[in-house]
Structure 1
Amino acid sequence: MINWIALEPAIIPSESYDINGCWSGSTTILPGNKPVIVYTGLDHQDIQAQNIALPANLSDPYLREWIKPDYNPIVVASPDINSSFFRDPTTAWRARGLWRILIGGSRGRRGMVYLYRSRDFRTWTKTQHPLHSAPHTGMWECPDFYPVLAHGKKGLDTSVVGNNVKHVLKVSLDEARYEYYTIGTYNIDNDIYAPYNTSADGWTGLRYDYGNYYASKTFFDGKTDRRILWGWANESTTVPEDLRKGWAGVQAIPRSVWLDSNGKQLLLWPIEEVEKLRGNNVQLSRQHLKIGDVVEVAGITPAQADVEVTFSFPSLAVDKVEPLDSSWFDIGAEHVCMKMGSTVQGRLGPFGLLTLASENLDEYTPVFFRVFKAQCTKHVVLMCSDASSSSLDQTLYKPTFAGFVDADLADGKLSLRSLIDNSIVESFGAGGKTVITSRVYPTKAILEKAHLYVFNNGAETVTIESLNAWSMNKPQQMNDN
């Protein structure tokens, strides 16, 4: 999952049913260890239908060649479905002798996932009702549906159900261009998914990533018993620049996914294989940051780095923490961060990292926390990744991303990990409770001219309890010999 071999495309537009595009889909492993790709194809009228592709040679370890059988398409939209909103089939799961897949769609502005069943993976029948739907959410793209253990990090095969199992439904909202998920129960008897009431089922709900992250997909890695998430981070440059580069997006670092011990949300963390790229290491510990302090992390390659830092603070007393305005939950974390950026002094925060920074700090991408006191006894943590000062190029899209962190501050500590790679910063707050990915394009803070700093602009002193930073080596471009 780190070093890759570049192969030719597995499937390309070639048949009447996909001549205008081979769109997103999933792979399912059938009995006998036989993979099958299910994907959305567009015909000459841009009608969306679902097709399959089978490997031409199972003995080829790279599965270079795929065959589209003559019985495609396997699923077409029935008269009650708008065929322009009918795409992105999930990995199939099997229960009681029947395969099941979900297909994203909408009816008006009600988003939904249609459920289809099959005995032979060739003839599919739509169930009477969608597996799940929600009003006022628009088209549901790239749905994903999978089980997670109620306790523990171990991943599960997609077909697993049981008493110690909960289910996750993730959808990519076409109108919002963000992804949302819920955790709930799957009733195999009537094929209905019901989310718990622990988070909103829609635009204000939980996200895998509160930044530049979309069209993600998980899969079960049976070799290591992990569920791994992989998502797409599109460019924030201009269209002419995208054309000049020759691409318009990158895949983010793969992440392990499991259920938090509180049962209310998922935790995401970079897969352990990424640590194979770690090189030179520097460490800091027990370093106090007073208001306005900026400390450089020297001795690594800041443009390509892995940084883990734990902050501690002596007190969470009422007079040490800013009060929380309850209306902020309604206007959203991003608007709060836009108003209260990394340079706006608070009490406990802002504190964090200045990534991809130029020497004189006219370019930098801050990733930081602010701690607030709610009306009850709970403290609320805001995490931000702000690209507004990331580049002197004013033609770029430079958004502020943010999310609230459901962190337990009983020990007076808060952790942050950031993976920095030239034009992308992936940050994991509080052990993966809140994740934010930003695409940034500095004009000065590039390659050896980039710097990395730790900062505190809050009135209260914050301590770098521990910091580990590594230079990251480049993955190898392998060959298939």
Structure 2
Amino acid sequence: MYYNGIYHLFYQYNPYGSVWGNIVWAHSYSTDLINWIPLEPAIYPSEPFDINGTWSGSATILPGNKPAIMYTGIDSRNRQIQNLAFPKNMSDPLLREWVKPSYNPVIDPNRFMNESAFRDPTTAWLGKDGNWKVLIGHKRDSRGIVEIYRSRDFKTWIKHKHPLHSVDNTGMFECPDFFPVLLKGKEGVETSVSGNHVKHFLKVSLDLLRYEYYTVGHYYPETERYVPDTTSSDNSSGLRMDYGNFYASKTFFDQSKNRRVLLGWANESDTKMDDIRKGWAGIQTIPRTLWLDESGKQVVQWPIMEVETLRGLSTHMSNVTLAVGAQIKVQGITSAQADVEVTFSLPSLEYAEPYDPAWVDAERVCGYKDASNPGGLGPFGLLTLASDKIEEYTAVFFHVFRAQDKPVVLMCSGGKMSSLKTDAYKPSYGGFVDVDIKDESLSLRSLIDHSIVESFGAGGKTCITSRSYPTLAVGEDAHLFLFNNGTTPIIVTKIDVWSMGKPKMN
């Protein structure tokens, strides 16, 4: 949350080790969303209503400029219930201490509900009827549900007679997020805004599949229903926040810059023993701004502008020809920590291979049409975190296919060559990019940081986060290459690369 000039990040944390367990709400603060300073944990198990766990939740700023946290506690009966916490001292600018009122829990599952799948309340919004509303993730059998509750005083909550939304055969809806997005422009709006100038966005994290999908649609407060647009696939085949290692994301409205900001969690893909050796596990991704695409069919994500304050030495090139089989090393920057922006110019689409309509699973296609597999128009892109002789690399690339209506653009990241370690999970992540390439160009931005590569295709329409654990491409021995493994040359219209400095990280 943003409060009185300071950003507060609360996150699930084990203070006693680098494997899951003993979870508390750790607390760090920042003035720029880039440099973070740790504080004491804000919430930890201490009362009968949360003695067996303090799990995810959200912050809401109440009237009188008073922050409130609603979180899931695991009570002495091992039920998942919802509790409140408030700052102990409102005059403390860092809000170091939080107290839990004795009237907790404020929401618990009724006897007809699944009390072991009832968690992760959203940021609340204030309806025009004077009621606060909040969503809670739920599951009944295989049906994912977002329950909606209302309250006049933020203390006594009443369950609506039906869910805001539910979908069969998805499993548990974890970490829901629900907020308005403007029909036009890149600015965000406060969570309580409604009207004809906005659509609504609903995101859920799928516990079974460990990824997130979202829909864009309309919220009807009169009936407390959310209806996705017909252009939003409302199941696990729908649009994803990120097509890689990215989960349990959360947004907040940053009123200081009128933007909606998204943070996600990337877990580790190596072994638990590696985590214990490192002494840490799991990272937050770079904060992203989020807005509705001009088409109205999807959202766009882009790294917050503050990340550019870390930029240092740079290299800039234009009109570079990537011949067939080209691997061109980018010089003059620290490739283990870099920000890369590149635009590719495509030749005639007649060179593209035909698209098979059976290719509905982008990740599978990226697996067997990887960076080393020659194609027609692609694969072309970046080899990040690459060793000097390219024994290791994390590829980020496009592959363009010819289809009946318009070209199909596949974006991939990761892959089996990202590490020589045999016990690391090394998938080829992938997603399709809904982009019109009539101007015959494609853009890509990648943020590279030692063990993570966050990539944004076509200005942020498709995002993929990869974790990598190179053994050779480490530190100064990490390199960056432009490559083309298609059967026709590609032109790099422009590439800008910056070495990135190290922020304060707790």
Short-chain TM bin: over 0.9
Shift of 1:399: 1.1
Correspondence 1:76-475 to 2 at 5 A = 76-95=108-127, 96-317=129-350, 320-329=351-360, 332-376=361-405, 378-475=406-503
| Paired letter, 2:392 | E
Shift of 1:19: 1.1
SS of residue paired to 1:334: helix
TM-score by length of 1: 0.97
Aligned mates of 2:58, 2:377 — CA distance in 1: 45
Paired residues of 2:402 and 2:408 also in contact (CA < 8 A): yes
CA-to-aligned-CA distance 1:307-342 (integer Å, 9 cap, x gap): 00000013123xx1110000002xx00111111110
Correspondence 1:60-75 to 2 at 5 A = 60-75=92-107
SS of residue paired to 1:45: coil
SS of residue paired to 1:133: strand
Give 2:29's aligned residue: none
Aligned mates of 2:149, 2:217 — CA distance in 1: 20
Give 1:13's aligned residue: 45
| Paired letter, 2:284 | Q
Paired residues of 1:387 and 1:440 also in contact (CA < 8 A): no
Aligned mates of 2:364, 2:234 — CA distance in 1: 21
Give 1:40's aligned residue: 72
Identity %: 60
Give 2:8's aligned residue: none
Aligned mates of 2:196, 2:49 — CA distance in 1: 42
| Paired letter, 1:434 | T
CA-to-aligned-CA distance 1:71-102 (integer Å, 9 cap, x gap): 00100001111110000000000012000000
Aligned mates of 1:281, 1:358 — CA distance in 2: 20
| Paired letter, 2:342 | V
Aligned mates of 2:398, 2:183 — CA distance in 1: 29
Paired residues of 1:28 and 1:91 also in contact (CA < 8 A): yes
Shift of 1:411: 0.7
Shift of 1:417: 0.3
SS of residue paired to 2:240: coil
Shift of 1:468: 0.2
SS of residue paired to 2:366: helix
| Residues 1:476 and 2:504 aligned together | yes
| Residues 1:2 and 2:34 aligned together | yes
Paired residues of 2:288 and 2:303 also in contact (CA < 8 A): yes
Aligned mates of 2:279, 2:65 — CA distance in 1: 36
SS of residue paired to 2:373: coil
Aligned mates of 1:321, 1:130 — CA distance in 2: 46
| Paired letter, 1:222 | Q
Aligned mates of 2:374, 2:417 — CA distance in 1: 17
Q: Which runs of 5+ in 2 are unaligned?
A: 1-32
457-466 or 308-317, which deviates more: 308-317
Paired residues of 2:367 and 2:415 also in contact (CA < 8 A): no
Paired residues of 1:27 and 1:37 also in contact (CA < 8 A): yes
| Paired letter, 2:103 | Y
Paired residues of 2:370 and 2:415 also in contact (CA < 8 A): no
TM-align CA RMSD: 0.8
TM-score by length of 2: 0.93
Shift of 1:375: 2.0
| Paired letter, 1:360 | K
Paired residues of 1:92 and 1:100 also in contact (CA < 8 A): yes
Aligned mates of 2:386, 2:96 — CA distance in 1: 42
| Paired letter, 2:75 | D
Give 1:27's aligned residue: 59
Aligned mates of 1:252, 1:113 — CA distance in 2: 25
Shift of 1:388: 1.1
Shift of 1:44: 2.8
Aligned mates of 1:334, 1:165 — CA distance in 2: 32
Q: Report the number of matched residues.
A: 473
Paired residues of 1:230 and 1:254 also in contact (CA < 8 A): yes
Shift of 1:45: 3.1
CA-to-aligned-CA distance 1:121-163 (integer Å, 9 cap, x gap): 0000000000000010000000000000011101010000011
Aligned mates of 1:64, 1:335 — CA distance in 2: 46
Paired residues of 1:214 and 1:233 also in contact (CA < 8 A): yes
Change (3 A) 1:437 1:477: closer
| Paired letter, 1:75 | I
Paired residues of 1:55 and 1:66 also in contact (CA < 8 A): yes
Paired residues of 1:269 and 1:432 also in contact (CA < 8 A): yes
Shift of 1:477: 5.0
Q: Which consecutive segments of 4 or more residues in structure 1 shift more than 3 A?
A: none
Aligned mates of 1:225, 1:208 — CA distance in 2: 21
